Structure 1
Amino acid sequence: MYQLYIGHQNYSSWSLRPWVLLKHFQVPFTQTVVHVSGKGANASHRGYSDNGLVPCLHDGDFRVWDSMAICEYLAELYPQMWPAERQLRARARSISAEMHSGFGALRSQLPMNVRLRAQGVPPSPEVSADLVRVFAIWRDARQLAAEHGCGGEFLFGAFSIADAMYAPVIWRLHGYNIAIPDDLQPYFTAMLQHPAMQEWAAAAAAESIQLPAYDALIAQFGGTR
């Protein structure tokens, strides 16, 4: 059985990705939640994570860190985690890599806070540009899936690593009350109502830890917890 080290479920967007993937595909694992402050690598984590960050997956004595690397490691045993069709698989990898390395304004200005319910956030120009790109990615993926005859609610029909990589964006859009284009509302709703996403939200709601740097945005945006 795998062991997955993750950060606080209310805040840790990187941890959500492999967690929701494992849950969706019903891969047995145990989880260990560790304290993170959102300030990068921490020497106290190196006992279970070589780079001092979470998430980190333990497969027996072997460790895999970084959310994208964990997903790829799992997909070698569970190839259904990627779309079966070659072009869809390539596109899914492309948009997953783009999410992994980009969208700095969205990450920094609207950090994930699952418990947050803002009254409405006027995004900065930089965040607005990131959102335009995210929505274009989702729209293109859904169109490409339809062209290949893939039914289903998710980006490429069936749930895949691409959906897991964008799962934190779903909580950002929900928490900061960002308007969703009408044509993408079904995908947004499917992700928000996914049983694993709801399980994650319940765990986040039960956490007592608070990170002031993140929660300060509650007052800034007129939100509630």
Structure 2
Amino acid sequence: MRSVVSYVQRGGRMTVGQQRAWQQRWPAYGRKIAELPEGPIDFADWFGRQAPVMLEIGSGMGETTSQLAHAAPELNYVAVEVYEAGLGQLMLRADRLELTNLRLLHGDAVVLLTNHVAPNSLHGVRIFFPDPWPKKRHHKRRLIQPPFVRLVAERLEPGGTLHMATDWEHYAEQMLQVCSDEPLLRNRYPETGWAPRPEWRPVTKFEARAQREGRECRDLIFEKVADGPAGD
């Protein structure tokens, strides 16, 4: 779908606990996108139950993701992340919370959505504090671009939501413009453009830092129109 990616493949050594989580817990929690069989994932089979699927793109070190999954046991919660240490830490957090409704995917979310998620199948997509790529020459690397938003919209079920948050004003405005231009989506808060900050969304380390540095955090919530095209 695109020739540039929105992330940097970070290296760095994992802690002993993170390495142990990968060795012992990955078969239960996760799959690598590059190793998935062709076609859409059967989420009901993977989770062992039929439930709405919430996809979080970019789970980082997993503190927010684990709390959100724990707070919504009625959801089949799926987190996709490229950072191995982050997924290792998320598995440790998930074990401490005894989560049974969380599954992890390692790799590129665009490849996942394009090749392994069926149209009209996601209850929601969450993208909290994606890399802002603040330098103008890097803006093309930002995740929230028209082709990506169309891809997400096609994978959402009618009424499903795309929820984003960022502390970078220019990126927030770009998100608002791109999503407003997507005919499959409508803003839940058209009067202001911005959604009220949900009380249920934990304060991430990025948000806390932004608050200390005087940057305003903005949430945006768009939903798929019920009468939109079906997708692929």
TM-score category (smaller protein)? 0.3 to 0.5
Between Structure 1 and Structure 2, the one with more strand by share is: 2
TM score, norm. by length of structure 1: 0.33
Between Structure 1 and Structure 2, the one with more helix by share is: 1
